């Protein structure tokens, strides 16, 4: 009997399929209540999923953000993002996206009083707060001396999976159970946790359905490859930068990297959509070394309904 490989739950495509679908709402609510830890009378019982569709164009882009965006019944906006590779910018990155979600609530002519609380939850596969072994950090805007909150509208969470993994003990609360789940715990220990945690039990049920769907599994595998490529590219860029130390070399490397990323995105789409029939098109794409041309193809190729249409787009561009 062949044992199937376990799903990597921090693969952003798998994460979005498990927590960002209507069928996964029970799992999402369980995770949110564990992270936010509201009093019993304020536990989240319902959320509205926003931006529910997965655009194939972004599935094949290793730089894309496949995050979860939801709104609670009182209008609070919650964004969850998984970040596995350390790009050394998570502090500015989370503020940038939080600001966009906050100001994006208002349409022209609306009052500032209509802005709702916005919460960012970052699940990290690396240590960011290196001098502190706590796995959960929460930030608000406070006055320096008194600690008084300026407003409750900003709330940012960081969950560091590696620190939770180093606990080397059984989970002592619901949040730790979820962190064990996200750290890909398997076997009897995971089953025991799922038995008493309905949200995790639901997430594992969706995992099973997800794994049995051939197309879903293929897209998951492409995101796994993209994540590995991104980590390798970041490590390689750092090593090359240290070795060369030349601005010209770094600029050239970045340009070549962008061309390779664009070629990968197009070729992976062709492979998923048309299979072996598109091998010649993939070879043609690999010979295009103009980023401008590749970007024009990307802007059109994901709308191709047939192999002939895809072929025309590539040849015409």
**106-138 tens-digit pLDDT:** 887 889 999 999 999 999 999 999 989 999 999
Please check whether residues 206 and 304 belong to one and the same domain: no
* CA diameter of the chain: 67
Please check whether residues 259 and 298 belong to one and the same domain: yes
Please check whether residues 134 and 248 belong to one and the same domain: no
Please check whether residues 290 and 149 belong to one and the same domain: no
Helix (H) or strand (E) holding 81: strand 77-83
In this structure, what token pair is assigned to residue 176?
Answer: 């730790």
Please check whether residues 52 and 69 belong to one and the same domain: yes
Residue 239 has a pLDDT of: 52
Chain-centroid distance of CA 38 in Å reads 24
* Residue 179 within a domain: yes
Query: For a pLDDT cut of 70, what percent of the chain falls above it?
Result: 83
Please check whether residues 60 and 181 belong to one and the same domain: yes
**55-99 tens-digit pLDDT:** 555 555 555 566 899 999 999 999 999 998 787 889 999 999 999
Q: Which domain holds residue 189?
A: 12-212
Phi, psi of 214 (to 5 degrees): -60, -45
Residue whose C-alpha is closest to residue 16's, from 62, 85, 82, 67: 67
Please check whether residues 146 and 272 belong to one and the same domain: no
**225-254 tens-digit pLDDT:** 766 665 555 555 555 555 555 455 455 556
* Residue 98 within a domain: yes
Q: What integer is the mean pLDDT of 166-191?
A: 94
* Residue 1 within a domain: no
Q: Please determine, for residue 2, whether its predicted confidence score (pLDDT) is greater than 50.
A: no
Q: Please determine, for residue 155, whether its predicted confidence score (pLDDT) is greater than 90.
A: yes
Please check whether residues 121 and 23 belong to one and the same domain: yes
């Amino acid at each position: 009997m062949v044992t199937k490989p376990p799903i990597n739950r921090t693969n952003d495509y798998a994460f979005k399929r498990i927590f960002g679908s209507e069928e996964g709402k029970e799992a999402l609510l369980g995770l949110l209540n564990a992270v936010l830890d509201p009093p019993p009378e304020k536990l989240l019982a319902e959320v509205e999923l926003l931006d529910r569709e997965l655009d194939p164009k972004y599935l094949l882009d290793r730089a894309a953000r496949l995050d979860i965006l939801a709104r609670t019944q009182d209008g609070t906006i919650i964004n969850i993002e998984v970040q596995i590779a350390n790009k050394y910018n998570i502090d500015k990155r989370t503020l940038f996206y939080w600001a966009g979600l906050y100001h994006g609530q208002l349409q022209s002519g609306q009052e500032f009083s209509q802005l709702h609380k916005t919460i960012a939850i970052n699940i990290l596969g690396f240590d960011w707060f290196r001098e502190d072994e706590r796995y959960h950090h929460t930030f608000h805007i406070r006055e320096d001396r008194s600690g008084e909150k300026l407003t409750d509208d900003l709330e940012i969470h960081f969950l560091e999976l590696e620190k939770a993994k180093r606990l080397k003990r059984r989970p002592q609360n619901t949040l730790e159970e979820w962190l064990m789940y996200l750290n890909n715990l398997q076997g009897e220990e995971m089953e025991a946790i799922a038995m008493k945690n309905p949200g995790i039990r639901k997430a594992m049920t969706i995992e099973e359905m997800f794994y049995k769907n051939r197309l879903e599994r293929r897209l998951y595998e492409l995101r796994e490859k993209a994540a590995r490529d991104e980590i390798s590219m970041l490590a390689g860029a750092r090593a090359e930068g240290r070795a060369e130390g030349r601005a010209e070399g770094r600029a050239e490397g970045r340009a070549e990297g962008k061309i390779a990323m664009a070629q990968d995105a197009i070729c992976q789409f062709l492979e998923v959509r048309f299979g072996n029939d598109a091998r010649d098109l993939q070879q043609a794409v690999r010979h295009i070394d103009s980023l401008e041309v590749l970007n024009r193809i990307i802007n059109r190729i994901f709308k191709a309904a047939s192999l002939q249409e895809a072929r025309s787009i590539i040849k015409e561009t």
